Amino acid sequence: MDTKSRIMEEAFKLFLKKGFADVSLSEIMKAADITTGGFYYHFDSKDTLLVKVIEKYIFDYFSSVINQIRNCTGTPKEKLKTMILSIVGDDATINACTQLCQGSERIDYRTLHLLLFEGVQKYEIISQHYTEFYYNLLNLITDVLDEGKAKGCIRKDVDSTEIATVIQTTMVGTVLMWIGIPEMPLEVRMNSNIDHLWDYISK
């Protein structure tokens, strides 16, 4: 692994464990086994590093999920569930090794989403990425719903864009509830919400 990638991966692990604000540059440099000069050769600040980390380990992953769903097989409902649980995390990935990191450390999805929200609030470039991602996601959900209408498993009178917005809002709300009240597994909540929405829109 090259030095820049090692810095980003070690920083990502530390950000997940402690949050962005509580991780010092010295901790990052120690974890990546580099000097101060080595750090500043690749990044001009910790803020710049955070932006690059969130772009690489979160948004690139989310984009890959969207591309995979566009090419996957299954019923529209199966596609919808796969897409949502791949993005927000499910019981099989929460506190387990994921594609988001090359190392063997476990990732808590609560801290991942909190890190993303922290970045969105503080950095305009991350907020722009977040907005772009959710528009892409909205379009994909709309396409899946249109497919369901074409196949006759969703009512023709359903406004696909409107329901896609409801689904997206439900995703975000469910994640926020789970962050605050983690006792009920996220996958259980999300599956239940999708099932109720599907009952409403299906024939």
As for how many domains the chain has, the answer is: 1
Whether residue 29 is contained in a domain is answered as no
Look at residue 1 in the predicted model and tell me its pLDDT.
Answer: 77
Whether residue 41 is contained in a domain is answered as no
Whether residue 98 is contained in a domain is answered as yes
Whether residue 143 is contained in a domain is answered as yes
- Give, for 193, the enclosing helix (H) or strand (E): helix 186-201
* Cα(47)–Cα(52) distance, integer angstroms: 9
Q: What is the CA radius of gyration of the chain?
A: 19
Whether residue 36 is contained in a domain is answered as no
φ and ψ at residue 123, rounded to 5 degrees = -125, 125
Whether residue 46 is contained in a domain is answered as no
Look at residue 149 in the predicted model and tell me its pLDDT.
Answer: 95
Look at residue 92 in the predicted model and tell me its pLDDT.
Answer: 54
Give the three-class secondary structure for 152: coil
Look at residue 100 in the predicted model and tell me its pLDDT.
Answer: 47
* Range of the structural domain that residue 68 is part of: 51-201
The token duo for 27 is 């901790």
Domain with residue 180: its CATH number is: 1.10.357.10
Q: Mean pLDDT of residues grouped by 10 in the chain (203 residues)?
A: 90 84 91 94 91 84 78 86 77 47 57 80 85 90 94 93 94 84 80 91 84
Whether residue 197 is contained in a domain is answered as yes
Q: Which residues contact 74 (CB under 8 A, 6 or more apart)?
A: 82
Q: By the 8 A CB rule, do 120 and 110 touch?
A: no
* Cα(201)–Cα(189) distance, integer angstroms: 19
